[in-house]
Structure 1
């Protein structure tokens, strides 16, 4: 916030002193108007270098699509009915309360990107009170039926370079910019599922990734403590490091659904 306020003060100062210092004013404006750097030339599957934007988009699309396998799971609703244990009553997730939806809407970052539907987070933030009730009804109905609106399934894909040769499409990570209303519902469902798994001890204490209050640092501290304890006892310590390539892209969706069903999640949530 302090950085943003300082930036605003700087811009106001530039604007008020434009008559005395036009050079600095227009230099700042020109820097702001500079477009983003174009995507680097890419190499297609046949080893050819492509430079046109349409060709580069097709190369990245082909590569990103090739990462997914049939094992990741079929279309929505294609998973077997027996995933839900009929002898076990599923735990119902909390309803989408209007107050919770309103709070999330009022805290949306107006500087975040919007999805393909063109709904800007600033608009939803300004209309939080008016949108909270209809959205809570839509969210609840969507979860109960397990149906996701088509607009929420669409995304604008932005390729982010990770490391290595920029011509290699395999060195780019796709970032999906989805619909803002869909993201709000995802937050509520994620929070409820996470809480349910933690209460049911579905998440092991040894897991540090993707958990609030934990990080690589806490993981290393725990690991270091165990290693030093064993060394102090005069025992040998062997460490095996494993790295699964494209793990998040190729993980079986059916396996994940089976695990969630085993922890009592209802069918509507699993379909969603």
Structure 2
């Protein structure tokens, strides 16, 4: 951790102490928190860029860093199977969750379940893009080459079709596999390309009046 980040963290603690004592306003404390958060994001982006740049000379360090980021804590406890027995083995829990997810996809949806999505809806969070934003001068050219080749070939790169699936608890009993939903985490560059394509298609559709006035689903402002 850099000296600058340590100073920001120290300042954040001090600002919190001042705010709790009534010697600083909430707005002042909030501004310090934001500065600290931005400094940490920039430091992380800088670290990851250096790790990527040095991969040829330090492959061990690169894969060690990747492995450290892939470690996740267990967030799903015992689950109830079809006969009401609690399952604790990871492999069995995976099978139960997979069966629950498959049934959700195969079930027939009623008209009431249809939802309207807004064209142009963001497919990533702001905090997902620090590396791309901080090092755009280095990464933009490389990504443009990949995007251009993918567009001309009409194919999505293999890595762009892969996703890490994590679980999100909805509500109800945590032992019920049906109370979890899968969330696919795809690559951020892939999401950037998706948004670029969406913007071009949306602009063409709007300018050429392709969609009639009676269409409401997947249309902006309706």
What's the TM-score once normalised by structure 2's chain length? 0.51
Is 1:130 the equivalent of 2:138?
Answer: yes
> SS state of the match for residue 196, structure 2?
helix
- CA–CA separation in structure 2 for the residues paired with 1:42 and 1:180: 32
> SS state of the match for residue 176, structure 1?
strand
What does residue range 211-222 of structure 1 map to in structure 2 within 5 Å?
212=220, 214=221
- CA–CA separation in structure 2 for the residues paired with 1:157 and 1:53: 15
CA-atom RMSD in angstroms: 3.7
Q: 1:131 to 1:10 in 2, by over 3 A?
A: closer
Structure 2 equivalent of residue 145 of structure 1: 153
Q: CA deviation at 1:127?
A: 1.6
Is 1:11 the equivalent of 2:36?
Answer: no
Structure 1 equivalent of residue 53 of structure 2: none
Which one scores higher on RCO, CA 8 angstroms, separation ≥ 6? 1
> SS state of the match for residue 139, structure 2?
helix
> SS state of the match for residue 159, structure 1?
strand
Structure 2 equivalent of residue 197 of structure 1: 205
Q: 1:193 to 1:10 in 2, by over 3 A?
A: same
User: Which of 46, 64, 68 is the aligned partner of 2:101?
Assistant: 64
Structure 2 equivalent of residue 156 of structure 1: 164
What does residue range 90-129 of structure 1 map to in structure 2 within 5 Å?
109=126, 111-112=127-128, 121-129=129-137
Structure 1 equivalent of residue 109 of structure 2: none
Do the aligned residues in 2 keep the contact of 1:197 with 1:203 (CA within 8 Å)? Answer: no
Do the aligned residues in 2 keep the contact of 1:43 with 1:168 (CA within 8 Å)? Answer: yes
Q: 1:193 to 1:163 in 2, by over 3 A?
A: farther
- CA–CA separation in structure 2 for the residues paired with 1:122 and 1:66: 37
> Which structure's residues are more often helix, by fraction?
2
- CA–CA separation in structure 1 for the residues paired with 2:205 and 2:83: 46
Number of corresponding residues: 144
Structure 1 equivalent of residue 38 of structure 2: none
Q: CA deviation at 1:187?
A: 1.0
Do the aligned residues in 2 keep the contact of 1:108 with 1:125 (CA within 8 Å)? Answer: no
Q: 1:161 to 1:204 in 2, by over 3 A?
A: farther
Q: CA deviation at 1:184?
A: 0.8
Do the aligned residues in 2 keep the contact of 1:152 with 1:179 (CA within 8 Å)? Answer: yes
Q: CA deviation at 1:174?
A: 1.4
> SS state of the match for residue 148, structure 1?
coil
- CA–CA separation in structure 2 for the residues paired with 1:187 and 1:8: 39
> SS state of the match for residue 181, structure 1?
helix
Is 1:55 the equivalent of 2:98?
Answer: no
